[in-house]
Amino acid sequence: MCGHQKMKDIMMVLFKYMLTNNWAESRLPNSDVMGNFTSPVLSRSAADAFSIIMSDSDACLNKKFHAMIRPLYKQRFFSSVLTILLSSIKDSNSSDVRNSTYHAFGHVISNTPIAALLLETKKLILPLFECLSSLSADCKNNVLLYSILLVFSSILMENTGKCAVIENVHIIINPLLELAFYPYMMLVRETAIQCLVAMSEFPHARIYPIRQQVLKVMHKALDDPKRPVRLEAVRCRWRWESIA
């Protein structure tokens, strides 16, 4: 199905279900298959469908099941849905719809090749951290949260992405520091602190104003119950203390 000419139609059906508060309004003509679903459940399910489309699913959408997978389909799908996702996040007045849209956004960017993401880094950085803040409220999102953090760490490794992060460092620092205490997954805490270590190499004028804020959080992170997190906290504190 991926890369097929009808993919656009499928995508618009998913958006239709995901972006509505009223299940009755979202129903397709002559469709009673999902009549027992509530609107929030359907919206979340539609958002999770983006993961199936974008990931290398073992259950479906692979060559074993005769799916037509064309070259660069992930990049093309990302380009097709990005503007719709970002505008939907911005225009949504419902927390349920916004959360579902963040889920879809997270699934899309976590499965898109980093080279394609770097072309849109300036558009992605702030929504990415809004997505992290939204997902962190629910323990069920820990795997997706970790995947998105890995995307951010990859962006930090590239000069193109690093420039966009530097411009917004005063905004993204708070959500990143909060993830240093994320209780539901050690890898999220560890990766968040590793990102802070990488950010210590940013220009002095950009990061010095937030130095004390980072050090205060790292002091608390030294008491983390997991040794890998404590080790990263020690390394992070040393790096940020050396900024004078």
> Where along the chain do its domains lie?
1-112, 141-244
What's the confidence (pLDDT) of residue 121?
93
Distance separating alpha carbons of residues 121 and 221, to the nearest angstrom: 29
pLDDT of the residue at 167: 93
Distance CA(36)–CA(59), nearest Å, equals 24
Mean pLDDT by 10 residues, the chain (244 residues): 62 82 47 50 83 75 67 85 90 84 94 94 94 92 95 93 93 95 96 96 95 96 97 97 90
pLDDT for 66: 65
CB crowding 31-62: b at 16 or more within 10 Å, else e: eeeeeeeebbebbbbbbbbbbebbeeeeeebe
What is the pLDDT at residue 4? 56
Torsion (CA) 232, 238, 243, 244 in degrees, nearest 10: 160
Provide the 8-state DSSP code for 58: S
pTM here is 0.85
Q: Which pLDDT score is estimated for 116? A: 94
**pLDDT score of 213:** 96
